[in-house]
Amino acid sequence: MSCLRSDGGWVLDQMQMDTPENFLNRELSLLAFHKRVLAMAQDDSLPLLERLRFLCISSSNLDEFFEVRVAAVRHLLDVGKQRIGSDQVSPARLLRDIREQVAQMVTRQYDLLNQELIPALAAEGIHFVRRGDWNDSQRAWLKDFFDSNIMPMISPLGIDPSHPFPRIANKILHFIVSLEGRDAFGRAHNLAIVPAPRSLPRLIRMPEEVAGVPDGFVFLSSIIHAFVEDMFQGMRVTGCYQFRVTRDTELYLDEEEMEDIKSALEGGLQQERRFGRGVRLEVADNCPRDVVDFLLNRFDLNEQDLYQVDGLVNLYRLASLYDRVERPDLKFTAFQPSLPAPLKDKYSGTNLKAGCQNLDGAQALSFVRDRHSFVTEDLQRIQDQRAFLKSLMAKAMSPGVYLNPFVALPFASSAASSITVDKGTNTYDLLRAALALRHPETTTVPVAHANYFTPNAGDALLWNQGEAAQLFRDLAQNKPVPKSLLSGTTIG
């Protein structure tokens, strides 16, 4: 059974600690967080480019999830672990659960991109021009761009008995190309690999006079698809399909055999992480089954590790769009720093210039009393009092004060003469109390009704009598106040 602590928290007894059903799985909990990030992208109340950014973040999160979390579960399965984690799930069962949830999440990602975000961006004048929609001038401009900027950066790799399947680095976009005929050297190739280096931008902006709109973009994958045949002179391209493999990047160090971790890292572990064991294969959904099976076999993966996507492989590369279009109306409002306004109030005596400044005693007192200078009156006064207390405690608890007895002791004596303390309270007690107040937490009396109406006084706050009595009782008896009774915030 569970027990209530004196501070209001709960603890589990040993029986509950030994019951796997009482625990959530660590990997699935993290996956639930990634789903909440995706849910932000699906929230149509957010600015459009912010939604796209959340979509890209959710894609990047999944990359890391597979590189580390899924890879670690696969490793535990390989070494024969039957049960893992506090929930005591089997690695095989966990991998199946992950596959089911990630597959649903990936479907949601691409449905959101294709059915909502791309059309909404087009309505705002931001266009992704598809290969089938290029006009003659656009095709000519893109062909020149391909010849000048893309083709010199790419080295196609033919696959034949004398050229085995190449090493594919982690998370690098590649294209697998099916071919017919013979190359310039008379060699026959059925398949070839075309890597897309990370140095190539995934979004290419066309000039406005070519695109017909101020913000017209083309995907790198569309350009490579359109002109890939130029890389294979004398041969006919019968298919070109995107794919990307995610590899295990977790480090598994044998402490008994490895005395110097730094030397081990310098000696090649970082290189091995780029080519670790495959844990996920992403391919375009139009990729033929025989080609998919070929890739799965080469990466030693199975159907559970395959994700066929309806669009771009690696959505995160769309993130660059956010900074490449000047559309503040489609983004969160940028924070504009400003100086505090001047304050002048005849009731409290406040007369402060604009900006940050040092206050003497009289100015500080007038500042924390001022309420008439603000529309929110007492609410703003409470915030000012909190800000003042934070600044005061930061100064009082700075090393120059509490580590210097010639400053700390007079300060404590002055504080003792300024406040009422219990009998027997000495300077040391006040210093301890001051140290504890470096990060004070403010609160109000617990409220049962915030808009309580009274016939004679109008609107009022109605205390929660039971909780208010407990708060005052705990304070009087010097007991920890339960978190459930605190409504304020920590200062500092």
pLDDT (0 to 100) of residue 491: 42
DSSP SS3 for 22 = helix
pLDDT (0 to 100) of residue 1: 45
Dihedral, 259, 264, 269, 270 alpha carbons, nearest 10: 130
Residues of the chain with pLDDT under 50: 1-2, 4, 6-8, 268, 489-492
Record: fold of 1-124: Methane Monooxygenase Hydroxylase; Chain G, domain 1 (1.20.58)
Domain boundaries, the chain: 1-124, 130-250+269-325, 441-492
pLDDT (0 to 100) of residue 353: 82
> How big is the CA angle at 72 (ends 67 and 75), to the nearest 5 degrees?
120
Locate 104 and state its tokens: 């649903």
Record: fold of 130-250+269-325: polyphosphate kinase like (3.30.1840)
pLDDT (0 to 100) of residue 386: 75
pTM: 0.68
Using only the alpha carbons of the chain, give its radius of gyration: 32
The pLDDT tens digits for 269-282 are 555 556 788 999 99
pLDDT (0 to 100) of residue 33: 94
